[in-house]
Structures are given as structure tokens and as C-alpha cells.
Amino acid sequence: MGPGSGRGAGEGGAIRPPELRDLAFPFDNPPKELRGASLDVTFWVRMDGRVERYRVQPQITDRGYARKFDEVIRAFRFTPARAPDGSRIAGTTTVTFTLPGKRSS
């Protein structure tokens, strides 16, 4: 049996979600209300590993920081999701980021 014979290529497997390639995290100097905060970012990742869109919870209300955050997030690259047969597919994944700094009490 040669390549492409179908053996072991995800038989009975599940979809593998996209994986963040490298955790570059240049979110320094967050506004006071976000210091030490955890942000859940859900990514919709295309088949080429680029970010199609994302959603952040809780929302970032500081417009300047939100703009910088948007630039950084959209530059992230992922290993694409895989179907059970190993082919690349679009997918979603959620990553939690904890911003630097101490929470103000």
C-alpha cells in the first residue's frame, strides 16, 4: 500500500482545531481598567492559517488600545484546523490572554 491508501489517516478521528503558531504577546501598557485582566479571544481561522475575524470578551472600551490590540491580533498566524482525513479546513479556537500589570482594587 502506498501513500493515499487511506490507512490511519484520521480514521474515526475528530476535527483538530487551529493552533496558534507562536505566542507573540506585545500587549504591553494596557489601560488601567485592563491591567491584569484576562481576555478570551475567539478566532475564526481560514484554511491558510490567517485570522478571518475574532471576538474579544470582555470588550476593550479604550479605543486607542483596542486599535493596537486589533493590529496585533490580526497579525497572528495559526496552524490550520484539520478534518479527520487530515485536510486543511477553516476552524475556530479560543485563546485566553492575561494582560500585564496588577488589577486595581
Cell matching residue 94? 479560543
pLDDT digit string, tens, across residues 15-45: 999 998 876 666 778 999 999 999 999 999 9
CA atoms within 13 A on the CB side of 38: 4
pLDDT digit string, tens, across residues 46-93: 999 999 999 999 999 999 999 999 999 999 999 999 999 999 999 999
Question: What is d(CA 6, CA 85) in angstroms, rounded to the nearest whole number?
Answer: 8
Question: What is d(CA 69, CA 98) in angstroms, rounded to the nearest whole number?
Answer: 13
Q: What pLDDT does 86 receive?
A: 94
Is residue 79 within 8 A of residue 23, CB to CB? The reply is: no
Q: What pLDDT does 2 receive?
A: 43
Question: What is d(CA 71, CA 65) in angstroms, rounded to the nearest whole number?
Answer: 10
Question: What is d(CA 94, CA 40) in angstroms, rounded to the nearest whole number?
Answer: 7
* Phi/psi of residue 48, nearest 5 degrees: -90, 5
Query: What band does 12 get if pLDDT is binned at 50, 70 and 90?
Result: low
